[in-house]
Structures are given as C-alpha cells and as structure tokens.
Structure 1
Amino acid sequence: KQGRLTPLARTAFEQRFDALLEKALQVNPEVPPVPGRRGRTGQSPGRNLAMRCRQHRAAVLRFLHDERVPFDNNQAERDVRPWCVKRKVSGGFRSEEGGRN
C-alpha cells in the first residue's frame, strides 16, 4: 500500500521527533519558581507544547503504528465545518433591512 513507512523510516522519524523535542526544551528553558509564591510557575507556550508532546508521545505518534489513525485531523475539521458555518450565519442579521435583503 502506498504511504506505508518501513520500520527503518519509522525509527528515523521517532528519533527526529525526540531530537526536536529536546531542542525545543533547550530553547525554552524552565522558568524557576518565584520565591514566596505558591503553585506551579507558568512556563512559555513553547515549553508547554514540548512537555505535552513528550508526555503524550505515544498518542502523538500513534499514526506511525496504527494505519487506522490519520496523520492529520482534516476530516474531523471538515465534519464540523458545516455546523460552525450554520451557527455563525443563523441570527446574523443586524437589522430588519438586512434580513429582508
């Protein structure tokens, strides 16, 4: 089947993914806790994304191991789009004249 990765290509992809995560964590260092403040210290959006991708690595890369999982979520977005457009359009007339037009 076209589009299937070889085990070697899959391993190379995973290694590149891990290397990019490590680079992202180096570029976005951890913000140290503020003395006297309780709770977790807010981190940069880049660090948060890298940490979340590392924490959920198996789910993020599931498309590599399960052919039923698509690479992207375009189909899900296409399924929701008609509903979003309908919601946006309904009740959108700002005046009586606009409704008549």
Structure 2
Amino acid sequence: MHDHWTPYFKYDDCTHALCNVHHLREFKGIIEFENQQWAKDMTELLLEAKTYSEETEYPLPRDKVQEFGQRYQTIIEEGYLANPLKAHEKNTDPVRLLNRLSKRQEEVLEFLYQVEVPFDNNLAERDVRMTKTKQKISGCFRTEKGAHCFARIRGFISTCQKQGLTIIESIETILRGNTIQFS
C-alpha cells in the first residue's frame, strides 16, 4: 500500500494498493477550492465501501464489489465532464487526479478484494513518523548502530501498542529478563 508515488509501480512482483486517505485529502481540496460534485460523490463512495468492507465478512459478495466498481466509473466520467480536457493546456489538479483514479481503479479499490489490505496506510505511516521526526530534529543518526537501536526500540513499542500491551510494563518485563508473548 502506498501513496501513488510512480516509482513504486516498478515493483511488479507484488499487488499494489493505494492509500485512500491520501485520496480523501485530495477530494477535500477539490471540494473546498473547486466545489466539484464528483469529488463529494467519490468521497461518499469510498467511505461507504470502507464501512461495508469493515462490516461484511470476506470474501465480499462479487455483485456488491462490482456495484462499487460501476459507481466508481460513473463518478470518474462525471468528473471528466466537469473538467473537460483542453488541448495544449496543462492539466488541472482535478484532471490529474481523475487520470490517476481512472488508470488505477483496481489499486484504489483493492481493500474490497482482500481482507489483508487496509483502506489506508496510516498505520505504516505512523510507524515511520517517529523515525523521520528523530531524523529531522537531530539531522541524522550519529552511528549506524544508534539507528539500529532506535529502530529496534521503536519496533518493540509499536508492536506493544498494536497488541494492546502497556508499554512501560512491557519494557519492565523485558528489562527483568522475562519474555513477552505477542499474538
């Protein structure tokens, strides 16, 4: 799962999924600055599909997934009608977004096909955020060993959080020489 950075698509031995929170942010901008209905409709569709995928057992019914796909395509068509392509002019932000969404529909809706694929990559971004913050504040890690230690500690804390464990108690357990069983 990623934010549609083009070089990621060079990895062709995996399934790609696109972060829909990134899309929702872009829709919000188009709604606020351009007041375009298609962006409102796509926001509603993606949020409805997210809720449906969270409340329904996988595999999701094929007819319902196809319905979401058809509605998606209709909204894209409405978006192009609201943003006609003009020869010899640079594409606007809405047109660039429509082009990406049109080309990558399967990746946008991947969360409907596989239970393992989340709607967004917020969890992954949160896991990386502390490392990037540390790097920004300090400018860099002083040593490679320091970077490895930081990554191990952050990974442990992140795993404890995901497992619903108290971080301080987990650290105390490890420092006492005991092990923690993660599920």
Structure 2 gap ranges (5+): 1-53, 140-183
Residue of structure 2 equivalent to 1:26: 81
Match of 1:47, SS state, is helix
Provide the rounded CA distance (Å) in 2 between the counterparts of 1:32 and 1:17: 26
Indicate whether 1:65 and 2:113 are aligned: yes
- Aligned-pair RMSD on alpha carbons? 1.9
Indicate whether 1:55 and 2:103 are aligned: yes
Superposition map of 1:33-52 within 5 A: 33=88, 41-52=89-100
AA at the equivalent of 1:60? V
Structure 1 gap ranges (5+): 34-40, 92-101
Provide the rounded CA distance (Å) in 2 between the counterparts of 1:42 and 1:21: 19
Provide the rounded CA distance (Å) in 2 between the counterparts of 1:9 and 1:62: 14
AA at the equivalent of 2:69? E
Provide the rounded CA distance (Å) in 2 between the counterparts of 1:22 and 1:87: 43
From 66, 70, 73, the equivalent of 1:15 is 70
TM-score with structure 2 setting the length: 0.41
AA at the equivalent of 1:29? P
Q: Deviations over 1:39-90 (max 9, x none)?
A: xx41011011111111122222222112221111111211211112212322
The structure with the larger Rg is 1
Q: Deviations over 1:2-36 (max 9, x none)?
A: 44332232122111111111111111110212xxx
AA at the equivalent of 1:66? Q
Q: Aligned residue pairs: how many?
A: 84
For CA contacts below 8 A with separation 6 or more, give which structure has more relative contact order. Answer: 2
Provide the rounded CA distance (Å) in 2 between the counterparts of 1:54 and 1:30: 14
Percent of aligned positions that are identical:
35
